[in-house]
Chain A
Amino acid sequence: MKYAYYPGCSLHSTASEYGQSTEALCHRLGVELAEIPAWNCCGASSAHTRSHLLSLALPARNLALAEEMGLDIVAPCAACYNRFATTRHALAGDEVLRARVNRAIEMNYRARGRVVSLLELIVNDYGLDRLSREVSRPLRGLKVAAYYGCLLVRPPEATGFDDPEDPQSMDRLVEALGGQAVPWAYKTECCGSSFSATVPGVVLKLVNDILATARAAGAECLVTACPLCQANLDMRQAAVEKQYHTVYGLPVYYFTQLAGLALGLDPGRLGIRHHLVESMGLLVAKNLA
C-alpha cells in the first residue's frame, strides 16, 4: 500500500505529534507514505472566504502533483482533506471549471485519483479486522469519546466515507483496539477552531460544550482525527476550565497515537508528551504506557 502523502502545514508545526504518530503507525503497518514534493498550503479556512477560484486552485495544485506521482492522496488533517475532497468533487463533474482551474495552476489535473483521509485509509483501505490482529496492548478499560469535528464528514456528497450526523468509523476503530467508545451527541459539533485566534469567547463556549458532553457521557479522554480540533480542545482546555469554573483534565489524543500504543509502539515515538493537557497519567493508570 502506497500513497501520496500530504502532511499539511499543521503537522509540521502545532500538530507535530500527529505527523510523528502518523508516520510511526504507517511504518508499523507497512503503509508507504511518499511525501508530495513542494506541496503548498491548501488554503484551509481562509481561501474560500475570499475567492472561489483560489479555494479550488490551491488544493488542485497538490492534487495534480499527487496525480503525477500516480498515487491516491492521503491527508491526515481534516481541514486539508475537506478542501481536497471538495475540490475533487467540484472538478470531477465539471470540465469547464476544471479547465479554468488548470489554467490557474498551469497544470493538467484530471480528477482521476482518490482523495482519502488518514482515518479512512486505516479503517477501510487497511481494514479493522487486519488491524485488530496486530494489537498487542489492547486499550482495555479506556473509555473514549470519538470526536470527528465538522470537516471530516461534511459535505457528505464530497467526503462520503461516513455518516455526517452519527459517524461510526473512529468508534469502531477504538473498539477494534480493545477500548470502549462511549455513545455521545457531540461527535460532529464544530469546535470553532477557525476562530481560535480571533473570537476567543465563541471558541471557549463551543469547546466547553464538547468537553462537558464528553464527560457526562462517561468518557475519560477524547480521540480525534483533526489537528485543528485537537489543538483547540487541548490547548484551550485550561482557559475553558477557568472561564466555566470546572476541571476537566481530559486528554485529547490523535487516533494515530491510540492505535500506535495498542500496536505496542513506544509513547515517546507517538508524541503524547507534547500535549498541553497532561496525557500520560491516564495511560499509565490503565497499564497502557
Chain B
Amino acid sequence: MQTINLTELEGARQGFIAEVNGASGTDVNSCYQCGRCSAGCPVAYAMDLQPRQVMRLIQLGLKDLVLEADTIWLCASCLTCSTRCPRGVDIAGVMDALRMIAVKERRPARIKDVPVFHDLFLGMVRATGRSYEVGLIAGLKLATGNLRRDLDLGLRMFRKGKLKLLPQISGAGAVRRVFANVARMEGGEG
C-alpha cells in the first residue's frame, strides 16, 4: 500500500484547488461525497475513478492521480451530474477544467483518441469556420493509425448522402481572429 503524507502536500493542495475552482467557476470544496453524480453517470461503468472519487481526490490535492485518470477523458459532458448535484457543484465543469490543466501540463492520456479528436475538430473550425466530418475522420485515422475503423459505416453514410466531400467555408476570417484573440487574451494580455 502506498503512503501519502497529506500534511506535506498542503501548499500544493491549496494551489490545485484554487486552479480547478478558477478554471471551472465552481467550488470543489462544496462536495460532501453523496455519490449522486456517480450513480447517474452513464459512463461511470467504464471509468477508473468515479466522478465522486475525482472530487474527493481534488479536495485532498492528489493532482497526479486526477490528471492522469481515464475518467477526465471518458466524461461525455452530458451534464447529468451537474444537474443533479444537491450542492450545486458543476462537476462537468470540473472535468473540463481538469482536461485543460492536463493538456497544459502535457499529462499522458491513455484514452488518446479523445484529446486528438478535440484538437482536430478545433483545427478544422479555426481553418474553415465550420466543422468538416470527412476531414475530421481522415485526420483521426492518420493521427491514430486506426485506418479500418468505421470504413463500412463511412461508405453507407456516403451512399445516403450524409457525407460532404468538400469542407464548407463560412466566416473563416472572422473565426480565425476569434481564435487569435482568445489565445492572446488567455496569454495574459486581455
Q: Which residues of A contact B (CB under 8 A)?
A: 9, 12-16, 38-41, 43-54, 57-58, 61, 100, 103-106, 150-151, 154-156, 164, 188-190, 192, 194-195, 197-202, 205-206, 209, 235, 239, 274-276
**Bound Cα distance from A39 to B140, whole angstroms:** 25
| Cβ A61 vs Cβ B171 within 8 A | yes
Ranked 9 nearest A-B pairs via Cβ: A190-B78, A150-B78, A198-B113, A38-B171, A154-B79, A46-B121, A46-B118, A9-B131, A40-B171
A-B contact pairs, 26 of them (CB 8 A): A12-B130, A12-B164, A13-B163, A38-B174, A40-B129, A40-B170, A45-B77, A46-B117, A48-B77, A49-B118, A51-B186, A52-B23, A54-B179, A61-B175, A104-B181, A105-B174, A154-B82, A197-B136, A197-B150, A198-B111, A202-B74, A235-B157, A239-B153, A274-B161, A275-B160, A276-B157
The smallest beta-carbon distance between B186 and chain A, in angstroms, is 6
**Bound Cα distance from A197 to B23, whole angstroms:** 27
Most B CB atoms within 10 A — which of A46, A61, A190, A206? A46
User: Which residues on B sit within 8 Å (CB–CB) of A274?
Assistant: 160-162
9-residue interface stretch from B7-15, B51-59, B60-68, B95-103: B95-103
Q: How large is the interface on B (under 10, 10 to 19, 20 to 34, 35 or more residues)?
A: 35 or more
* B137 interfacial by beta-carbon distance below 8 Å: yes
**Bound Cα distance from A103 to B79, whole angstroms:** 29
Most A CB atoms within 10 A — which of B77, B164, B185, B190? B77
The smallest beta-carbon distance between A73 and chain B, in angstroms, is 15
| Cβ B157 vs Cβ A190 within 8 A | no
User: Which residues on B sit within 8 Å (CB–CB) of A39?
Assistant: 170-171
**Bound Cα distance from A51 to B125, whole angstroms:** 14
**Bound Cα distance from A151 to B76, whole angstroms:** 11
* B168 interfacial by beta-carbon distance below 8 Å: yes
**Bound Cα distance from A154 to B81, whole angstroms:** 10
* B114 interfacial by beta-carbon distance below 8 Å: yes
Of residues 77 to 126 in B, which have CB atoms within 8 Å of A's CB atoms?
77-80, 82-83, 96, 99-100, 103, 111, 113-118, 121-122, 125
| Cβ B114 vs Cβ A198 within 8 A | yes
| Cβ B164 vs Cβ A53 within 8 A | no
Given contacts A38-B170, A235-B153, A235-B157, contact A14 B46 (CB under 8 A): no
A56 to B, closest residue via Cβ:
B182
User: Which residues on A sit within 8 Å (CB–CB) of B74?
Assistant: 199, 202
* B147 interfacial by beta-carbon distance below 8 Å: no
Given contacts A50-B122, A53-B185, A164-B83, contact A199 B133 (CB under 8 A): no
B153 to A, closest residue via Cβ:
A235
The smallest beta-carbon distance between A247 and chain B, in angstroms, is 18
**Bound Cα distance from A51 to B126, whole angstroms:** 14
Partner of A190, one of B76, B131, B140: B76
User: Which residues on A sit within 8 Å (CB–CB) of B179?
Assistant: 54
**Bound Cα distance from A199 to B112, whole angstroms:** 10
A-contact 0/1 string along B28-57, CB 8 Å cutoff? 000000000000001101100000000000
The smallest beta-carbon distance between A84 and chain B, in angstroms, is 15
| Cβ B117 vs Cβ A198 within 8 A | yes
The smallest beta-carbon distance between A5 and chain B, in angstroms, is 14
B25 to A, closest residue via Cβ:
A52
| Cβ A40 vs Cβ B83 within 8 A | no
**Bound Cα distance from A41 to B118, whole angstroms:** 14
A-contact 0/1 string along B165-186, CB 8 Å cutoff? 0001011101101110110011
Partner of A156, one of B83, B118, B140, B164: B83
